[in-house]
Amino acid sequence: MFVATVAEVGNEVPSWVTGFYLVILVAMVLCLAFEDKIHAKKSLIVGTFAGFCLVTETIIGYFTDRAHPMLPFGNIILPNGHEIGLPIYVPAIDWSVITIILGASLFVEVTSRSGIFTWLAIKLTKQSGGDPWRLLLFYGALTVIFSAVLNNVTAMIIVGSLTTVSLSKLKRKDLLLGFLLTEGLLTNIGGLLTLISSVPNIIVGQAAGIGFVPFFIKAVPFVIVATLVTLLQARLTFGVKSLTTEEEKKIAADLVAGFDESESVPSKYFFWCSVCLLLSFIVCLAGQSALPWDLDELGMGFVALFFAGLALWFYKHDVDTFYKAVDWDLLGFFASLFVVIYVMEQAEVLAIIGKGLQEMLALPPQAAQASLLISAAAASSVTDNIPLAAVLAKILATNPIVVGPDGSNPDSPFWWCVIYGANLGGNITPIGSASTVVAMTIIHKNKLPLTFVGFVKVAAAFAVVQIFLAIGYVWLTSYLF
Amino acid sequence: MSEPRNHPVPSRSDEAIDEFESIFKISERTLYHYADVSIRKVAVITDGDQVMATELSNDMKRFLPHLAEQAEWQYVTGDQYQNVNDLLRIMAESNPDLIVTSRCLDESSLVPQHTLGVYVDVMTQTLSTPILLLPGTAPQPHPLGNRACEGVMVVTDNLAGDDQLVNHAVACTAAKGTVWLCHVEDDVLFRRYLEAIGRIPEINTEQAQELIAEQLVAIPTQYAQSCIDGLKKAGVDRTIEQIVEFGHQVNRYRQLVARYPVDLLVTNTKDKDQLAMHGIAYALSVELTEVAQLLL
């Protein structure tokens, strides 16, 4: 069946070449899934595959059809007619995605030094009065907001660390496992809130042409409902109850009153500047498409880099510290991944996958949406959701059912199926997303007993509820809009 | 291919988790909670007769005048006990809130030196009742003086969170008197740790010394400040001063007692991990015999 499909699609590319690269793609996905076993970083794994793909596709192109090589070598023609020479792997990378991630992570790294996030976290801890249920509600909300504004890994690190310290102070370490698991699951819900909250959002949003504000408006209702449902489910699952007696309440309130939020703020001036910068950053991202004088053409990536640059002036003598803090492994991974996907596109591998996906998309709309969302969730539960989002975004961007006759339809529910599936699938297993990996790290650091299977047993129930909620929400929004 | 390193390098997330945990721990304050120490029954133990016991109790009533008004006084004289078990049985029966006695009780024939004596030694560890040691020893007592206790020094190597210690010190201080909250970090021990840190290439020794010293001082200082705020809020009319520093503990306390007009030292004796008296408390109670001491 596979060979027959290849034969149908491959007009110019030999079918064995497409099959070969499909195997390479599967091998790369498997290597990413077993990253811990290989003991190698993602950037190195995918970079190796990218190099291998570029070299082999160049050689195969040379020997099969030298007049029409698979990789389109040559100069790049700019919109103004100028030609520039760039290595083939440079335009293969989606630089708008890379610049958003680089700019946003640098910005967050600097502004978080102001203590703005820790200040808010401690303030809420005190507001809870040490009541476990209120604490879970506040930390849940905090996790979702931080995941949306920062990223899900940083959110998990901040809220998870505070949870460890505050529950230890309240002498309620019996609740720690439940809290950390719930927060881990909520990071992936918070990651759905804005266009730049998670990498799959950025990739799919860029491919679909969804703006920051439309994304936010559509995501907010689902995020609120899913958060509340998850918190209620956590209350029942982990037995998180409110304090009942006045004496218990007084003791708990006295204990959390011992936190001093001002201790985490090194400078009030920098603190308030960071608050202003953060609000301006969000406003600029939201209004980026409406910027005047063609400034919108510079894109969201420029906005992120611009604000990172502004923030770095606060540490003008130590900017190298922040450059070192950038997750270069992640950026190298993305860049390499785009190169691999580009090679796969030239080798018609994406066309083959698209062909298989076509059958799913041709089902009745509700069934098609549910199938795509569940498939994306299942795939992202065992492997990295970024290659999944990148491959699916590339395929869906050329599918007529998704983009319609105009070749562009940001309102298509199928984009949202990939977004929800790729994000929520990370809640099924502890390796499904980077933030659940961090949650497991904190759980093990506190010597709490939770195995891979143990995590799946507990988390799968949450993930299933969230995925069904997402399917219902996609159906509802596709009906309403 | 194995990587050329001896120790596992912590991942970025491990480092970040640790960093944020530290930020939140720095924000943690141990708050002081004032509580009125209720002393309703005082047992005065001597190895002498009833006359001696009455004299002692009169001295004590001048020294701690508010106890004279509130408490019931019980006298245990030398003829009432023959050994430690007898004394422990009497204390168990009477169950006082405070025991007043002397070092080297019933050991006049031994010319004791640098010891609390067997009676006090056993009582500090087997009874939970605070023991007030009078200046000097039973064979060679020092006069308590005719004035009330106006200067109390809390001596400890771990001030933070010890509300009981502070509350007892406040309870023993006369109105408008002064309480010195003293915390001396053992510099010998600190230097030993720094020597170990100096042998670890992954830790910057100079930075470690500076940061650890800063935190060791910050924790008791913040607690002392909380005591000042808590007592002010409770309307307790005492002057509270804090002394937090590094040094050789016994020498520093000896210097501090000489520098300030101290009438009473208050210290913890219980060590939850051992039966013997807490190290610094024992050293102080046998070396600073010229000052009255309240052992908790």
ipTM of the predicted assembly exceeds 0.90: no
Phi/psi zone of residue A85: left (φ > 0), alpha (ψ -120 to 50 degrees), beta? beta
Q: How many separate domains does chain A show? A: 2
Tell me the mean pLDDT in the region A276-285.
Answer: 89
Spatial contact of B39 and B67, defined as CB atoms under 8 Å apart: yes
My answer on whether A83 and A134 are in the same domain is: no
Q: Give residue B8's pLDDT.
A: 43
In a domain, A47, yes or no: yes
Average pLDDT, chain B: 84
Under 8 Å CB-to-CB from B296, ≥6 apart: which residues?
B130, B164, B165, B168, B266, B267, B268, B269, B270
Residue B24 or A36, more confident = B24
Inter-chain contact B24–A327, Cβ cutoff 8 Å?
no
pLDDT at A7 over 50: no
Rounded mean pLDDT, A404-415: 83
Model pLDDT, residue A394: 87
**A126, A259: one domain:** yes
Give the minimum alpha-carbon distance from B29 to chain A in angstroms, rounded to a whole number.
5
pLDDT above 60 for A9: no
Angle at the Cα of A71 (from A200 to A206), degrees rounded to 5? 20
B18-38: per-residue pLDDT in tens? 888 888 888 888 889 898 888
pLDDT of amino acid B4: 39
Q: Do A124 and A240 belong to one domain? A: yes
Q: What does the pLDDT average to over A200-212?
A: 89
pLDDT at A473 over 70: yes
Q: Give A166's contacts in chain B (Cβ within 8 Å).
A: 24
Q: In Å, how far is A155's CA from the nearest CA of chain B?
A: 11
**Looking at residue A236, what is its pLDDT?**
95
Residue A152: list chain B partners with CB under 8 A. none
How confident is residue B248, by pLDDT bands cut at 50, 70 and 90? confident
Q: Distance between CA atoms of B223 and B186, rounded to whole angstroms?
A: 18
Does a structural domain hold residue A131? yes
Per CB-CB distance under 8 Å, the chain B contacts of A264 are 23-24, 26-27
For residue B25, the chain A residues in CB contact (below 8 A) are: 165
Q: pLDDT above 70 covers what percent of chain A? A: 97
CA-CA distances (angstroms) from residue A218 to A210, A221, B40? 11, 7, 70
CB-based contact A122 B27, cutoff 8 Å: yes
Average pLDDT in chain A: 87
A24-28, A47-51, A108-112, B280-284 — most confident range? A47-51
Q: Are residues A15 and A149 in the same domain?
A: no
Residues in A touching B26 (Cβ below 8 Å): 263-264
Q: Do A441 and B17 touch (CB under 8 A)?
A: yes
Does a structural domain hold residue A428? no
| Interface with A, mutate which of B3, B12, B13, B214 (most A CBs under 10 A) | B13
Residues B83-138 pLDDT 10s: 888 888 998 888 899 999 888 887 766 665 677 788 888 888 888 889 998 888 87
Q: In this structure, are A275 and A334 located in the same domain?
A: no
* A410 occurs within a structural domain: no
Q: Does residue A357 have a pLDDT over 50?
A: yes
**Residues A260, A178 share a domain:** yes
Give residue-wise pLDDT tens across range B43-65: 888 888 888 888 888 888 888 88
What domain range includes position A30?
Answer: 1-91+328-349
Looking at residue A479, its pLDDT comes to 80
CB contact under 8 A, A327 and B28: no
| A473 belongs to a structural domain | no
- Distance from the Cα of A247 to chain B's closest Cα (Å) equals 15
Residue of chain B whose Cα is closest to the Cα of A126 = B28
Cβ–Cβ below 8 Å for B20 and A438: no
Considering the domain architecture, whether residues A194 and A334 belong to the same structural domain is answered as no
CB contact under 8 A, B21 and A165: yes
Mean pLDDT of the region A344-361 = 85
Model confidence at A225: pLDDT above 70: yes
Alpha-carbon torsion (A148, A151, A152, A155), positive or negative: negative
**A64 and A115 fall within a common domain:** no
Q: Please write the tens of the pLDDT for every residue from B137-185.
A: 877 778 777 778 889 999 888 888 888 899 999 988 988 899 999 999 9
A29 shares its domain with A140: no
Beta-carbon separation of A258 and B20 below 8 A: no
Q: Are residues A288 and A157 in the same domain?
A: yes
State which of A315, A349, A383 marks the end of a domain: A349
Per-residue pLDDT tens over the stretch A376-399: 999 888 777 888 888 899 889 888
pLDDT digits (tens, 9 = 90+) for B198-230: 999 989 999 999 999 999 999 999 999 999 999
pLDDT of B5 above 50: no
- Give me the total of CB pairs closer than 8 Å, taking one residue from chain A and one from chain B: 62
Kindly state whether residue A236 falls inside one of the protein's structural domains: yes
How would you list the strands of the sheet with B292-295, edge to edge? B72-76, B41-45, B98-103, B131-137, B292-295, B264-267, B151-156, B178-186, B239-247
Question: Of B27, B33, B214, which to mutate for an interface test with A (greatest number of A Cβ within 10 Å)?
Answer: B27
Query: Is A453 inside a domain boundary?
Result: no
pLDDT above 80 (res A41):
yes
pLDDT at A10: 40
Query: pLDDT at position B11, please?
Result: 56
* Residue listed under structure tokens 């077993």: A34
Q: Which residues of B touch A121 (CB under 8 A)?
A: 24
Please, what are the domains in chain B? 41-187+213-295 (3.40.50.12370)
Q: What is the largest CA-CA distance in chain B?
A: 88
Chain A residues whose C-beta sits inside 8 Å of any chain B C-beta: 115, 118, 121-122, 153-154, 157-158, 160-162, 164-166, 169, 254, 257-261, 263-264, 327, 437-438, 441-442, 445
Q: Is residue A432 part of a domain?
A: no
CB proximity under 8 Å: B 69-88 to A:
none
pLDDT at residue B143, rounded to an integer: 78
Tokens 């168990």 — which residue? B92
Q: Give yes or no for B21 touching A (CB within 8 A).
A: yes
- Residues 6 or more apart from A459 whose CB is under 8 A from it? A181, A184, A185, A427, A428, A429, A430, A436
* pLDDT in the model for residue B207: 92
Query: For residue B12, what pLDDT is reported?
Result: 63
Q: What is the mean pLDDT of residues B55-79?
A: 83
Residues A113 and A194 in one domain: yes
Q: How confident is the model at residue B112, as a pLDDT?
A: 57
Chain A residues close to B23, C-beta within 8 Å: 115, 118, 161, 264
Same domain flag for A226 and A117: yes
Q: What distance in Å separates residue A259's CA from the closest CA in chain B? A: 4
Work out the pLDDT band at A347, boundaries 50, 70, 90.
Answer: confident
How many Cβ atoms from other residues are within 10 Å of residue B38's Cβ? Answer: 10
